[in-house]
Amino acid sequence: MLLVKDFVCNGCSLLCNDVSATIEKNEVSSLGVCKLGHAHLTSAASEAETGIVRRNGEEKRIPIEDAIKETARVLSEGENILVYGWTTASNESIKHGQLLAEELNAHFNTLASLSAYQSMSHELHSMTLAIDLDYIRNNGEFIIYWGCNPAESLHRHPSRFAVLPIGDKLPEGVESRTIGVVDVRETETMKMANHRFKIPIGQDVDLLKALASELKGTSSITEPLFGIPAVEILGLVRAFKKSDCTVIFYGSGLVNSGNAEENLSALLNLIEVLKNDGKEAYALPMFPESNIMGALQETKKQDSQQSILTKIANGEFDTALIVGDDVFSEIPGRAAKALRKSKIVYIGRSGGLTDSIADISIHTTDPIISGASTMIRIDLKKYELVTWNAEVLTIDKVLGKIHELVKK
């Protein structure tokens, strides 16, 4: 059967909805989808739904229904269960996961606690965003990417929203905007920038404070900062002063460099200095996981990064149900080693470290194929995914079956 559709791509957190594809016998032809999205759709279209159990280093493929029964048994026998992952699962699956966690008296948390929760719970955002990406396309005059690199992780961010497109107040597109990039290394995103700053790891707060002081007029930059000539930093300051609408996109470079709280507070201060000068200024987080914002918004209670990692590292959980995410690739080594001692069940797409070491793996098809579910874009806008094939095995269906068995 030939299927041609406009669809929503969940290859990353931009949830591109201006794209289309044809799927014929698992062969995918797409239009407008980036390399990441096309690879995501292609692999999802030919996902093999299987169940795997691993015992004593031996791997055995079993029918899905048997894997579900085995999972229900393991979860029922668990004493301290962690239900974890979720940043690429749909909102509906996340809700279902919480119901299952309640049934099991398990601890529910998401990988969003590692970065997005730190950002969004900070006073900088207070769990909401003042503007969305469409507003930025129409108004964002000075765009800064700070500790994030969309050219390598959110490919279409610059072309769809922030750098190149024409906007209501930016009729010349990129010619009307100024672009800055701050990072600890040379990045591909820097190629588009008018202002490029390579700073040492952990020095973000110093640059943020220096910029705010210069803008307030409480100090004057006359000497190089981290080897960057004063004249270049003053050029950045002039760009701030010239812009009526500044948007700073920041990513894991700012949040995961060890000084998250201090960095975010310094960023907030810089935004407030600009606003006090009568300018529009905003900061927006940039994280690539497709539904990281859904994992935040749909979760009733989220542990902080420190809290959940400490619990994991202390070996508090004897069983872990990991859904959608490759948790073992994301969490720090000490926590990963401790979690490895638990009984691990993985539900999600095949591939990744977590899938390869889980005691039970249940491979499902991604919601990009099943549709009938929602995700939340990085700017908190909700999108409904399009259905290509409603018959495939989804995380939601698997959770439903496990839930029924656990109840019994």
Give me the residues that bind other proteins (CB under 8 A), please. 16, 18-20, 28-39, 137, 151-152, 155-156, 158-161, 163-167, 173-174, 188-189, 191-192
Residue where the block lists tokens 């959770």? 399
Residue-by-residue DSSP string for 44-91: HHT----EEEEETTEEEEE-HHHHHHHHHHHHHH-SSEEEEE-TTS-H
What CA–CA distances, in Å, run from 92 to 96, 200, 302, 370, 377?
Answer: 6, 41, 17, 12, 15
C-alpha–C-alpha distance, residues 253 and 146, integer Å: 7
Minimum Å distance from CB 132 to other proteins?
14
Q: Which of 258, 256, 194, 204 is nearest to 226 (CA)?
A: 204
User: What is the DSSP secondary structure assignment for residue 386, as one 8-state letter?
Assistant: P
C-alpha–C-alpha distance, residues 209 and 272, integer Å: 12
Instruction: Choose between 32 and 315: whose C-beta lies nearer to other proteins.
Output: 32
Minimum Å distance from CB 318 to other proteins?
42
Instruction: Choose between 24 and 77: whose C-beta lies nearer to other proteins.
Output: 24
Between β-strands 51-55 and 360-363, what pairing exists: parallel, antiparallel or unpaired? antiparallel
C-alpha–C-alpha distance, residues 115 and 133, integer Å: 20
Minimum Å distance from CB 159 to other proteins?
4
Minimum Å distance from CB 5 to other proteins?
12
Minimum Å distance from CB 368 to other proteins?
14
Minimum Å distance from CB 157 to other proteins?
8
Residue 388 in tokens: 């290509």
Instruction: Choose between 63 and 351: whose C-beta lies nearer to other proteins.
Output: 351
Instruction: Choose between 62 and 131: whose C-beta lies nearer to other proteins.
Output: 131
Instruction: Choose between 152 and 261: whose C-beta lies nearer to other proteins.
Output: 152
Minimum Å distance from CB 168 to other proteins?
10
Instruction: Choose between 89 and 179: whose C-beta lies nearer to other proteins.
Output: 179
Instruction: Choose between 20 and 389: whose C-beta lies nearer to other proteins.
Output: 20
CB distance 93 to 399 below 8 Å: yes
C-alpha–C-alpha distance, residues 4 and 172, integer Å: 34
